[in-house]
A and B are shown apart, each in its own frame.
Chain A
Amino acid sequence: MSAESPKIVIVDESPIRVAILEEGLREAGFTDVVHLSEMRSLLARIYALDPDVILIDLENPSRDVLEQMFQVSRAVRRPIAMFVDQSDAASIQASVDAGVSAYIVDGLKKERIKPILDLCISRFNAFAKLQDELDRTKSALEERKVIDRAKGILMKLKGLTEEEAYVLMRSTAMREKKKMGEIAQSILTASELLK
């Protein structure tokens, strides 16, 4: 193990999140970072790299594969789980909330792993926020499209202007305490059914 920068392996299938993580780690001076996205023969790859720290996305089923490292093994030195330290409940909670799980190999001190984990947690959270914003923008766009289509149907069926069709949908939404998108969707569904 290098005294300067521990070797960190990131196991994650999301290339964007890995990019965010890697950048953060490098900025913080952790330069020895390897990314594994291929889950086949994962354990063999990890053993070959012999990392000091392994970070894995909690939603990756291969987490169970890593549990095998904690078994007595003839081939490699035995790593221990980051979370073996019972006193560190807050950090366990924070990482599970963020969706990251960390393991360290025997010999790496807790004080040295803590900044890595903290960094990962904040980067994971940043990624989740980004993803959330992306999803929201996407669904706003979708809603826009649905409303436009519903407006077209109303204009055609009831001979309304665009403005009138919009006002009709908006007032219906307010009266029924529903979102514009929901009203528009019902119009589309109804028009499908009545075709």
Chain B
Amino acid sequence: MMTPLHIGFIPLVDAAALIVAVDKGFTAAEGLDVNLVREVSWSNVRDKLNIGLLDAAHLLAPVAIASSLGLGHVKVPIAAPFTLGINGNAITVSRTLHAAIMGEIDGDRFDPMATAQALARVVAKRAKSGAEPLTFAMTFPFSTHNYQLRFWMAAGGVDPDEDVRLVVLPPPYMVDSLANGHVDAFCVGAPWNSIAVDKGFGHILHFVSDILARAAEKVLAVRQNWAEKNPEILASLVRAAARAAEYVEQPQNRAEVARLLAQPERVGVDVDIIRRTLDGRLKISPDGTLRESSRYLLVGRENAARPEPVQAAWLYAQMVRWGQTTLSPEALKTAMAVFRADLYDAALRRGAQASPAAPAPVGAFAGPDFDPAEVTGYLASFEIGRRPA
């Protein structure tokens, strides 16, 4: 008897482990009959998961936390027993903004401090000449993209709420908006950065791994009460996803993974663009310049799939830093409890083990090391942020 499951996803490359788990039959081998439901917005994924139209979902890690805390919407406790992706986003800027930043840069162009300070000078000059503030697009208020953009520009002295406009834009609209000048830059996941570069509209300025070496991006999310009622089904799902993540990371399987993801009912973009993302080898400028990074997108390798509570704590700290909520020890605890390393370990019958090879949590290019026991001190060390009045 197969267990039917409805699982929602947004067509992005970091849904790879989920898509491969289903399309390579790993979920079926675990006795799960999964119907993957392609969605158009994170709000839809969240709402359908919340009310039970979906059993599980590919979800922005911060949305899982916001939902559990009741921030921005209905409070529904979420459990995340599996991390579908670490990193994987990039910041793309228009050709004009790229030229302006490169004209001001003092240092290496891949050094986020150098680019952020250059951006600050561009922003200051624009303000002086009376030009409109620059517009940066991201995917959702509770998104890694939002926090990554903010972290980066604030380190260079740009206040993301005062000095530029930061707007939410659905990923499918980003490339066109960059082309017609409605936005000057965006932070988004694959494939959209590569599409903008391929079309000649912009440059990839940073992989987000330049900003944070290890940041939880998407999780496999279920309702906490569903997890409690269906522990066996959940463990099966985690095992299927883990097997898929391992499959995705084998270089000899990449062509097959790219082919599966390219299907119109899955991610539905050019197979070559997906391949570049999986390989972490991206064309970063319209002239064809390639850049390679072993940290671009981690799907399972370096123990990436294990949901570490410290990652949730860092994301919660960003919500506090940017005024989406106020700091409370209980909320911090609730946030950390969303990332269920225990469920992951139990499903894979492994003892608790953070990978010894893993770099320090988050690994940000600026600010002190993050310690969940010292969130107040951590946040106080940043000059720019929304402090409670």
Cross-chain pairs A/B with CB under 8 angstroms, 15 sampled: A39-B173, A58-B44, A59-B40, A60-B40, A61-B41, A61-B170, A61-B172, A64-B42, A64-B43, A66-B43, A67-B141, A67-B168, A81-B74, A86-B75, A96-B48
A22 CA / B125 CA spacing, docked (Å): 47
Known contacts A86-B75, A92-B51; A70/B141 CB under 8 A:
yes
Known contacts A59-B40, A64-B41, A83-B47; A70/B72 CB under 8 A:
yes
Residues B44 and A65 in contact, CB atoms below 8 Å apart:
no
Residues A65 and B169 in contact, CB atoms below 8 Å apart:
yes
How many B residues face the partner with a CB closer than 8 A? 28
A58 CA / B173 CA spacing, docked (Å): 17
Nearest CB on B from A163, distance (A) = 42
Interface string of A152-191 (1 = CB under 8 A from B): 0000000000000000000000000000000000000000
Nearest CB on B from A88, distance (A) = 9
Cβ–Cβ < 8 Å partners of B47 in chain A? 83, 92, 96, 101
Cβ–Cβ < 8 Å partners of B141 in chain A? 67-68, 70-71
Does A144 make an interface contact (CB < 8 A)? Answer: no
Does A48 make an interface contact (CB < 8 A)? Answer: no
Cβ–Cβ < 8 Å partners of B127 in chain A? none
Nearest CB on A from B231, distance (A) = 25
Quick one: closest A residue to B73, CB to CB? A81
Residues A86 and B74 in contact, CB atoms below 8 Å apart:
yes
Q: Which of A63, A71, A72, A83 contacts B41 (CB 8 A)?
A: A63
Cβ–Cβ < 8 Å partners of A96 in chain B? 47-48, 51, 53
Known contacts A40-B182, A64-B139, A71-B324; A83/B73 CB under 8 A:
yes
Nearest CB on A from B315, distance (A) = 16
Cβ–Cβ < 8 Å partners of B75 in chain A? 86
Q: How large is the interface on A (under 10, 10 to 19, 20 to 34, 35 or more residues)?
A: 20 to 34
Does B140 make an interface contact (CB < 8 A)? Answer: yes
Quick one: closest B residue to A66, CB to CB? B43
Cβ–Cβ < 8 Å partners of B173 in chain A? 39, 61
Residues A83 and B43 in contact, CB atoms below 8 Å apart:
no
Does B167 make an interface contact (CB < 8 A)? Answer: yes
Cβ–Cβ < 8 Å partners of B40 in chain A? 59-61, 63
Does A113 make an interface contact (CB < 8 A)? Answer: no
Interface string of B20-54 (1 = CB under 8 A from A): 00000000000000000000111110011001010
For window 36-66 of A, CB contacts with B under 8 Å fall at: 39-41, 43, 58-66
For window 277-333 of B, CB contacts with A under 8 Å fall at: 323-324
A89 CA / B47 CA spacing, docked (Å): 11
Interface on B for A, CB 8 Å cutoff? 40-44, 47-48, 51, 53, 72-75, 139-141, 167-173, 177, 182, 323-324, 386
Quick one: closest B residue to A74, CB to CB? B161
Nearest CB on A from B342, distance (A) = 28
Residues B51 and A68 in contact, CB atoms below 8 Å apart:
no
Interface on A for B, CB 8 Å cutoff? 39-41, 43, 58-68, 70-72, 81, 83-84, 86, 89, 92-93, 96, 101
Cβ–Cβ < 8 Å partners of A67 in chain B? 42-43, 72-73, 140-141, 168
Cβ–Cβ < 8 Å partners of B51 in chain A? 89, 92-93, 96
Quick one: closest A residue to B63, CB to CB? A67
A59 CA / B44 CA spacing, docked (Å): 8
Nearest CB on B from A195, distance (A) = 28
A67 CA / B47 CA spacing, docked (Å): 12
A83 CA / B51 CA spacing, docked (Å): 11
Residues B73 and A62 in contact, CB atoms below 8 Å apart:
no
Q: Which of A39, A59, A61, A68 contacts B167 (CB 8 A)?
A: A68
Instruction: Give 5 nearest A-B pairs by CB, closest first.
Output: A61-B170, A63-B41, A68-B168, A63-B43, A61-B40
Quick one: closest A residue to B166, CB to CB? A68
Cβ–Cβ < 8 Å partners of A86 in chain B? 74-75
Cβ–Cβ < 8 Å partners of A60 in chain B? 40-41
Cβ–Cβ < 8 Å partners of A66 in chain B? 43
Cβ–Cβ < 8 Å partners of A63 in chain B? 40-41, 43-44
Nearest CB on B from A10, distance (A) = 17
Residues B167 and A64 in contact, CB atoms below 8 Å apart:
no
A43 CA / B43 CA spacing, docked (Å): 16
Cβ–Cβ < 8 Å partners of B43 in chain A? 63-64, 66-67, 101
A67 CA / B146 CA spacing, docked (Å): 13
Cβ–Cβ < 8 Å partners of B48 in chain A? 96
Quick one: closest B residue to A68, CB to CB? B168
Cβ–Cβ < 8 Å partners of B323 in chain A? 72
A43 CA / B165 CA spacing, docked (Å): 13
Cβ–Cβ < 8 Å partners of B177 in chain A? 40
Known contacts A70-B141, A96-B48; A65/B168 CB under 8 A:
yes
Nearest CB on A from B57, distance (A) = 14
Seed contacts A65-B167, A92-B74; 15 additional CB < 8 Å A-B pairs: A40-B182, A43-B167, A59-B40, A60-B40, A63-B40, A64-B41, A64-B42, A68-B167, A70-B72, A71-B141, A72-B324, A84-B73, A92-B47, A96-B53, A101-B43
Cβ–Cβ < 8 Å partners of B73 in chain A? 67, 70, 81, 83-84
Cβ–Cβ < 8 Å partners of A81 in chain B? 72-74
